[in-house]
Amino acid sequence: MPDVNFDCPACAQNIEAPLKMAGMKILCPGCRMLLQIPWPSEVEERRAQRKAKSATVPITVEGGIPPAPEKRRIVIKRDAGEKG
């Protein structure tokens, strides 16, 4: 069964969950914010929007590009009895 991979909207923590959990509400393991696991179509739409926004690069007054924040990856384990 495919997984849903998405980032927390509050802290950008990368989260992976089984597809059967799409639509369920969980606490983000990174910041503890209550969030809803998106459906795969919602994830793809958000990625397309981010890709369009990333076409521009913010430049600071000092002339440097701000570094991207580091992300951890968290995987929500599947049930032991689940096949896939």
Identify whether the C-beta of residue 39 lies closer than 8 Å to the C-beta of residue 61.
no
Residue 59: predicted pLDDT: 60
- Give the model's confidence band at 82: pLDDT under 50 very low, under 70 low, under 90 confident, else very high: low
* pLDDT (tens digit per residue) in 25-81: 999 999 999 999 998 888 788 777 777 777 666 666 666 666 677 777 778 887 766
What tokens appear for 75 in the block? 């995987």
Residue 57 burial class via C-beta count within 10 angstroms: exposed 0-12, middle 13-18, buried 19 and up: exposed
Q: Is the pLDDT of residue 24 over 80?
A: yes
pTM for the structure as a whole:
0.55
Identify whether the C-beta of residue 3 lies closer than 8 Å to the C-beta of residue 24.
no
Residue 79: predicted pLDDT: 76
Could you give the CA distance from residue 13 to residue 11 in angstroms, rounded to a whole number?
5
